[in-house]
């Protein structure tokens, strides 16, 4: 194993040149994966399109932001900041927030998806603006009467929750209104899309909450208005079953020759059903289910404003960094989780990314297909139209969690979780050839993405049997990684002479944030006896207290068994920095709650690389 960690800025320019420049070549190995017995459906999606030009830049953005068109965002005070404001803010412009304050990102983003809830999309705005289509239905007339009378939003909120969760018969705004507002969403995304500078995607959130449990998905379209305009969003009012959503996505692609995918998120509030052992309808998982899930859901949102979902200390007791921004008291409907440790553990196994990845190995052995083979991304899930994941510039989730001298003592929406519990997270890093819809979408499909809780740490990972420690110093480091191995998100079939594959990792700190403390590889594997295990490897630790600027690491698994399915992903930890609540205490001179730490260790998570025996 070889390791070099740069503790100071000296030598950083040379590292950058070696690591991030050069003409890159495609991995021929990935092409061979198309015919591998255990290759996922559409394995061609894992192959970069041009063998003479593969990703050489990481782009930063957010695939999950809500504007005033979302029912809950509008209900909780975001009345005027539509998708336009979200795009303007993300690309670096100053926006006046719902609380009347000027808000601006310290560094613009490269891409954004305004993923407003499909259920009653734009309906409250339409009612308030006396839109004829919104008021053409009994539902629109009734809700308008509530707003005009003394009832106000109370009965509307009750009816909304009951209809979305299936407690009462579902009423909809009507197809004409839905088509009208969806056309507006598409048009705004198109207007702000600037290929090469700032990328927007048309999309929405499918807000499934069966029994009050979170099965939400963000739906992302690669396409422009000529294709996305042919449909209206499939919502949880149509069905709360993910399999029905996948069928809709499949029909879209068949009818339009377009491309679409879905991103599950926030599994830590799913009541244990995000990575369940049966389908929502109660059937056993099948090979067909696994194929469909991998086909339509290549990545998973592992960190966001409602907590971090990588690992849980009850599931990973030997991982000293597993308890990070943990939300594990309730599901999305605030129903408490079991107090019995074993019952709670069983539920949590269906909620956290690492346990989902481990379950996937077991199902691969059973079904011949892994339903939980996903890359990892981060998003904010902001409902303020403001995509912020920086602790020193955090604008919360709803209007009442925007910066103020009382947000540390208040609850979201007045009755939800404490605002102080919110997590200033996260963003997605995408390795792509260009900042365009087509290139970013292709990278998401092949899982060459990673999640950050906020810092823009530069991370690149390759694995293969023909990689060497000396490759870390090559000018064509990345080209060699693609040519002789696979990047994050890739699949390694059995190779070499039954020896362990080599991992090459390059990390560079966020230039505007803290130094790095350590680099870890998290391994999960299924033994030949059928037991699924995990282990955290420290593969790079800063040599001084002030931390490292860069890491360049060569690592080979000392416990590798050629017969055992496995996954490996990289976790990079920063040196401790102030949590946003500590900034609030300083900025507003308030005391705040002692339930939340003043310092946290921000981190990034790579998409895994899987090893599959013949």
**Residues 364-391: tens digit of each pLDDT:** 999 999 999 999 999 999 999 999 999 9
Query: What pLDDT sits at residue 166?
Result: 79
Pick from 597, 584, 579, 581: which is nearest to 405 by CA?
584
Size of the chain in residues: 614
Domain map (residue ranges) of the chain: 2-612
Query: What pLDDT sits at residue 37?
Result: 31
Distance, CA of 185 to chain centre: 22
Distance, CA of 382 to chain centre: 13
Query: What pLDDT sits at residue 352?
Result: 98
Cβ-contact 458, 15 below 8 angstroms:
no
Output the six-digit token pair for 333: 């409907």
For 277, the 3-state DSSP assignment is coil
Cβ-contact 420, 592 below 8 angstroms:
yes
For 380, the 3-state DSSP assignment is coil
For 585, the 3-state DSSP assignment is helix
Measured CA to CA, the distance from residue 173 to residue 298 in angstroms comes to 32
Cβ-contact 552, 4 below 8 angstroms:
yes
Pick from 104, 101, 80, 110: which is nearest to 92 by CA?
104
Query: What pLDDT sits at residue 489?
Result: 97
Output the six-digit token pair for 523: 């391994």
Locate the DSSP E strands across 393-531: 427-432, 449-452, 458-464, 486-487, 491-493, 502-508, 516-526
Pick from 299, 297, 301, 320: which is nearest to 310 by CA?
301
Segments of the chain scoring below 50 in pLDDT: 1-49, 51
Pick from 493, 515, 601: which is nearest to 30 by CA?
493
Query: What pLDDT sits at residue 497?
Result: 67
Using alpha carbons, list the distances in angstroms from residue 227 to 192, 193, 221, 231, 579. 18, 16, 9, 8, 43
Measured CA to CA, the distance from residue 488 to residue 358 in angstroms comes to 17
User: Which residue's structure tokens are 């059928």?
Assistant: 530
Query: What pLDDT sits at residue 164?
Result: 83
Q: How many CA atoms lie within 13 A of 329 on its CB side?
A: 8
Measured CA to CA, the distance from residue 319 to residue 273 in angstroms comes to 24
Pairing of the two strands 199-201 and 111-114: parallel
Query: What pLDDT sits at residue 20?
Result: 32
Interhelix angle 138-148/154-164, rounded to 10 degrees, is 150
Measured CA to CA, the distance from residue 86 to residue 219 in angstroms comes to 18
Structure letter (DSSP) for residue 374: -
Q: 558-571 b/e with 16+ CB inside 10 Å = b?
A: eebeeebbbbbbbb
Rounded to the nearest integer, the mean pLDDT of the chain is: 90
Cβ-contact 208, 240 below 8 angstroms:
yes
Query: What pLDDT sits at residue 33?
Result: 33
Contact partners, residue 386, CB within 8 Å, separation at least 6:
65, 81, 86, 89, 95, 97, 103, 395
Interhelix angle 353-367/287-296, rounded to 10 degrees, is 140
Cβ-contact 208, 215 below 8 angstroms:
yes
Cβ-contact 330, 337 below 8 angstroms:
yes
Using alpha carbons, list the distances in angstroms from residue 444 to 262, 356, 370, 433. 10, 19, 18, 12
Structure letter (DSSP) for residue 460: E
Cβ-contact 212, 236 below 8 angstroms:
no
Using alpha carbons, list the distances in angstroms from residue 90 to 31, 61, 62, 429, 453. 36, 8, 9, 15, 17
Torsion of Cα atoms, 249 then 70 then 334 then 397, to 10°: 110
Alpha-carbon Rg for the chain in angstroms: 23
Q: Where are the alpha helices (DSSP H) in 238-308?
A: 242-256, 287-296
Query: What pLDDT sits at residue 496?
Result: 66
Pairing of the two strands 566-574 and 260-264: unpaired
Contact partners, residue 145, CB within 8 Å, separation at least 6:
none
Query: What pLDDT sits at residue 415?
Result: 85
Query: What pLDDT sits at residue 44?
Result: 36
Contact partners, residue 173, CB within 8 Å, separation at least 6:
120, 123, 126, 133, 134, 137, 139, 140
């Amino acid at each position: 194993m070889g390791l070099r960690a740069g503790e100071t800025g000296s030598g950083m320019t040379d590292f950058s040149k070696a690591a991030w420049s050069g003409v890159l070549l495609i991995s021929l190995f990935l092409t061979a994966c198309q015919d591998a017995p255990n290759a996922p459906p559409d394995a061609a999606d894992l192959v970069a399109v041009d063998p003479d030009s593969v990703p050489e830049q990481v782009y930063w953005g957010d695939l999950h932001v809500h504007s005033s068109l979302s029912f809950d965002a509008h209900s909780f005070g975001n009345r005027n900041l539509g998708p336009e404001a979200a795009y303007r803010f993300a690309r670096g412009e100053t926006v006046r927030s719902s609380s009347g304050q000027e808000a601006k990102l310290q560094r613009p983003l490269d891409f954004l998806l305004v993923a407003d809830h499909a259920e009653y999309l734009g309906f409250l705005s339409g009612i308030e603006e006396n839109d004829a289509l919104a008021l053409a239905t009994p539902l629109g007339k009734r809700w308008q009467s509530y707003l005009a009378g003394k009832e106000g939003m109370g009965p509307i909120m009750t009816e909304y929750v009951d209809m979305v969760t299936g407690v009462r018969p579902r009423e909809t705004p009507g197809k004409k209104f839905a088509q009208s507002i969806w056309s507006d969403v598409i048009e705004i995304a198109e207007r702000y899309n600037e290929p090469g500078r700032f990328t927007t995607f048309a999309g929405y959130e499918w807000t499934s909450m069966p029994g009050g449990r979170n099965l939400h998905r963000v739906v992302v379209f690669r396409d422009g208005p000529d294709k996305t305009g042919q449909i209206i969003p499939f919502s949880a009012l149509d069905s709360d079953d993910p399999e029905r959503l996948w069928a809709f996505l499949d029909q879209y692609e068949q009818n339009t020759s377009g491309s679409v995918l879905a991103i599950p998120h926030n599994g830590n509030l799913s009541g244990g059903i995000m990575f369940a052992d049966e389908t929502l309808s109660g059937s056993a998982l099948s090979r067909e289910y696994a194929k469909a899930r991998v086909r339509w859901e290549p990545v998973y949102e592992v960190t966001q404003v409602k907590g971090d979902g990588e690992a849980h200390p009850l599931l990973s007791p030997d991982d000293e960094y597993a308890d990070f921004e943990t939300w594990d008291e309730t599901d999305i409907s605030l129903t408490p989780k079991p107090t019995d440790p074993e019952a709670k553990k069983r539920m949590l196994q269906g909620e956290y990314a690492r346990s989902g990845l481990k379950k996937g190995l077991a199902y691969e052995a059973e079904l011949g297909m892994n339903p939980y083979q996903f890359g990892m991304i981060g998003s904010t899930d902001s409902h303020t139209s403001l995509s912020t994941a920086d602790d020193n510039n955090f604008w919360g989730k709803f209007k009442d969690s925007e910066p103020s001298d009382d947000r540390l003592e208040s609850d979201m929406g007045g009755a939800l979780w404490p605002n102080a519990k919110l997590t200033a997270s996260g963003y997605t890093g995408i390795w792509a050839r260009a900042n365009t819809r087509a290139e970013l979408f292709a990278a998401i499909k092949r899982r060459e993405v990673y999640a950050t809780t906020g810092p823009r740490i530069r991370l690149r990972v390759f694995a293969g049997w023909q990689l060497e420690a000396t490759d870390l110093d090559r000018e064509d480091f990345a080209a060699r990684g693609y040519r002789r191995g696979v990047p994050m998100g890739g699949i390694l079939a059995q190779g070499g002479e039954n020896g362990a594959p080599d991992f090459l990792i390059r990390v560079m700190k966020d230039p505007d944030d803290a130094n790095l403390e350590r680099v870890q590889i998290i391994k999960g594997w299924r033994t030949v006896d059928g037991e699924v295990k995990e282990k955290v490897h420290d593969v790079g630790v800063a040599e001084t207290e002030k931390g490292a600027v860069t890491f360049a690491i060569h690592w080979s698994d000392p416990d590798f068994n050629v017969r055992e399915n496995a996954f490996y992903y990289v976790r990079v930890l920063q040196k401790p920095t102030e949590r946003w609540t500590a900034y609030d205490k300083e900025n507003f001179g308030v005391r705040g709650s002692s339930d939340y730490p003043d310092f946290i260790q921000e981190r990034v998570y790579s998409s895994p690389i899987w090893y599959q025996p013949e």
